[in-house]
Amino acid sequence: MISKILKEKTTAEHQQAEKNNDARFIIDHSITHDQYLGLLYKNYIVYNKLENLIHNFMDELPSDLKEFAVYDKSDRLIKDLTQSDFNFDRFEDELAVDITQKDTNVMQAIGVLYVIEGSMLGGMMIANHLQHCSELGSIEEHHFFGGNPKAHVQRWKKFIAVLDGLTLNEQEKEEIIKGAKEAFKYFDKIFELELVI
Ligand code: HEM
């Protein structure tokens, strides 16, 4: 099944993404409010670009995958940032950083979709730590690292069922894996940015 193959083939990339990610400061409960805003904004930069990339393939995506080609993650991030009065104008240059490849194809876009859908599983685990982060006590609702865990799990299961139901040749599988690996790289690039909030 392609989902199993993807998980296996991107294990190293996942470990790297975990290491680079400031979400580790949520897990150890040391995160400051500014670090949290920086983390949300970096995520916004990357999810917005990747959701755009996927959206551009709307016509070519297999019909059952179209419902996943939405701005779910960036919408959640905008809500979080807006409620904390984040100054989007100050960081326009960072948002303009071009990270995605120009010659992406629809199979690679499906690999990207796998990464951004799967990343919400980590988000659920991270969300459990938010209540122990004393610097974030003033934030009443977390939309990105939050939401309804049951809904996240259901969405993931549905996505995997659709993904595994696709009829794919070897070349297409390779392209999906390539797209997923590239997506992890985009996260690495953005997480290396120095953002001074
Ligand atoms: C500190 C950061 C992170 C933590 C602690 C974390 C943790 C997790 C956990 C606990 C799972 C569920 C594992 C399982 O059910 O086997 C998961 C799955 C996943 N995460 Fe992360 N994650 C993090 C960051 C990321 C990032 C930044 C990305 C994307 C760039 C990502 C992509 C994925 C994917 C694609 C899956 C699905 C794997 C699969 O079952 O196929 N994660 N993560």
Q: Which of 9, 121, 126, 181 to mutate to test the pocket of ligand 1 (most atoms within 8 A of CB)?
A: 121
Q: How many domains does the chain have?
A: 1
Q: Which of 75, 108, 98 is CA-nearest to residue 180?
A: 108
User: CA torsion 55→61→64→67, rounded to 10°?
Assistant: 0
CA of 89 from ligand 1 middle (Å) equals 30
Ligand 1: residue whose CA is nearest its atom 33: 119
pLDDT in tens, 66-75: 999 999 999 9
Q: Is residue 22 scored above 80 in pLDDT?
A: yes
Q: What is the pLDDT of residue 196?
A: 85
Is residue 117 a contact partner of residue 156, using CB atoms and an 8 Å limit? yes
Percent of the chain at pLDDT > 70 equals 100
Q: Is the CB of 14 under 6 A from ligand 1?
A: yes
What are the helix and strand counts (H, E) for the chain? 9, 0
Give domain status of residue 196, yes or no. no
Q: In terms of residue numbers, what domain contains 185?
A: 2-191
Report yes or no on 197 lying in a domain: no
Distance 99 CA to ligand 1 centre (A): 21
Q: Is position 16 within any domain?
A: yes
Neighbour-count burial of 17, counting CB atoms closer than 10 A to its CB (0-12 exposed, 13-18 middle, 19+ buried): buried
Q: What CATH number is attached to the domain comprising 95?
A: 1.20.910.10
- 196 contacts 25 by C-beta, under 8 angstroms: no
**pTM across the whole model:** 0.95
